[in-house]
Amino acid sequence: MSVYSPTTVNVTGVTPETPDIVTIDMSFVDDSYARQFSFQPGQFALLSAFGEGEAAFAIASSPSETGNVSCSVKSVGKVTSVLAGSNPGDVLGFRGPYGNWFPLDIMKSKNLLFVAGGIGFSAVKSTLLSVLENRTDYVKVTLLYGARTVADLVYKKELEEYENLSGLDLVKTVDPGGETGDWNGRVGFVPTILEEIDGPVSETVAIVCGPPIMIKLTLAALMTKGFDRKNIYTTLESRMKCGIGKCGRCNIGSVYVCKDGPVFTAAQIQEFPPDY
């Protein structure tokens, strides 16, 4: 079978997250494939709408789930619009998992600071779920999550659960002007709110994902707080296409994001070509 040939998945559920984002729950049609399927937190997959094309998405479910997988899709073009319009019972194509992952083994016994913006939350959600399932392996766990408006926040149901979770400190924020009358979170851009969060730095690992500008400003804010670049992890997913380093679309110098990433430390990113 060609490496480009997807396996098939049944859509088992579709959850609207925002006006243009849905989370698609899927189960593998092939039982033997389902039994052997596994992935690491931070890896991605390619979903295909037959006859339309495919696109890369972070796997947003827990690695501990068996036979099922979830991805959050933002409708921004032809393929993503078709995928976002999926209904339970539809059949999609699935390739993956691909790429590297967040090295949770070396993060044990440390504080973890998750910083996510918009749909970027989907790229770190599987990691957060893994951490919460193995909560005693880590010390303090903080999630700073923000979006442009209240309507643009994904995983609202989960956020409500996280607010009452004793093992997680949740800080949620929306950009100025994006709040509603009943909003009970912060108001401010994610990097700005980050600067206001106190906590230990030397034994803390930061896991960051969001829009490119948010990542750039967040990395700068973390450096200002004293974080070592080697203790800051982020994902670079917007450039990926084939998933196996053949098309060259995600090439950055000698690095292929789909093979060498999508997870990189800030120290690795510092070594990228200056025009990146």
Cβ proximity of 57 and 154 under 8 Å = no
List of residues 6+ apart from 165 with CB closer than 8 A: 132
> Is the same domain home to 148 and 91?
no
Asked if residue 274 is part of any domain, the answer here is no
pLDDT of 239 > 80? The answer is no
> Is the same domain home to 60 and 112?
no
Asked if residue 203 is part of any domain, the answer here is yes
The confidence score (pLDDT) of residue 275 equals 66
Decide: residue 192, CB within 10 A, 0-12 exposed, 13-18 middle, 19+ buried: middle
> Is the same domain home to 163 and 215?
yes
Asked if residue 256 is part of any domain, the answer here is no
> 45: domain CATH number?
2.40.30.10
Q: What is the pLDDT of residues 108-165, one digit of tens each?
A: 999 999 999 999 999 999 999 999 999 999 999 999 999 999 999 999 999 999 999 9
Beta-bridged to residue 90, according to DSSP, are none
pLDDT of 202 > 80? The answer is yes
Q: How many domains does the chain have?
A: 2
Higher confidence at residue 242 or residue 149? 149
pLDDT of 238 > 80? The answer is no
pLDDT of 2 > 80? The answer is no
> Is the same domain home to 51 and 109?
no
> 155: domain CATH number?
3.40.50.80
pLDDT of 82 > 70? The answer is yes
> Is the same domain home to 26 and 148?
no
> Is the same domain home to 119 and 230?
yes
Residue range(s) defining the domain that contains residue 28: 7-98
Reported confidence tier of residue 10, pLDDT bands at 50, 70, 90: very high
Asked if residue 42 is part of any domain, the answer here is yes
For residues 82-107, b (16+ Cβ closer than 10 Å) or e, as one string?
bbbebeeebebbbbbbbbbbbebeeb
Higher confidence at residue 209 or residue 246? 209
C-alpha to C-alpha distance for 177 and 221, rounded to whole angstroms: 22
pLDDT of 53 > 70? The answer is yes
> What tokens were used for 131?
């951490």
The confidence score (pLDDT) of residue 214 equals 94
> Is the same domain home to 86 and 115?
no
> Is the same domain home to 87 and 196?
no
Query: Among residues 138, 49, 137, which one has the least CA distance to residue 90?
Result: 49
> Is the same domain home to 85 and 118?
no
Reported confidence tier of residue 166, pLDDT bands at 50, 70, 90: very high
Distances (CA, A) of 273 to 56, 61, 246: 24, 33, 20
Cβ proximity of 239 and 250 under 8 Å = yes
C-alpha to C-alpha distance for 242 and 265, rounded to whole angstroms: 23
Asked if residue 259 is part of any domain, the answer here is no
Average pLDDT, the chain: 93
pLDDT of 272 > 90? The answer is no
For residues 153-185, b (16+ Cβ closer than 10 Å) or e, as one string?
bbbeeebeebeeeeebebbbbbbeebbeeeeeb
Asked if residue 255 is part of any domain, the answer here is no
Residues 28, 256, 253: CA angle, nearest 5 degrees: 165
> Is the same domain home to 110 and 125?
yes
Asked if residue 257 is part of any domain, the answer here is no
Q: What is the mean pLDDT of residues 34-60?
A: 94
Q: What is the mean pLDDT of residues 68-83?
A: 95
pLDDT of 47 > 90? The answer is yes
Cβ proximity of 83 and 76 under 8 Å = no
> Is the same domain home to 110 and 180?
yes
Q: What is the mean pLDDT of residues 3-11?
A: 89
> Is the same domain home to 126 and 69?
no
Asked if residue 89 is part of any domain, the answer here is yes
Query: Edge-to-edge strands of the sheet including 53-58?
Result: 53-58, 44-49, 91-98, 7-18, 21-28, 68-74
Q: What is the mean pLDDT of residues 218-228?
A: 95
C-alpha to C-alpha distance for 11 and 29, rounded to whole angstroms: 10
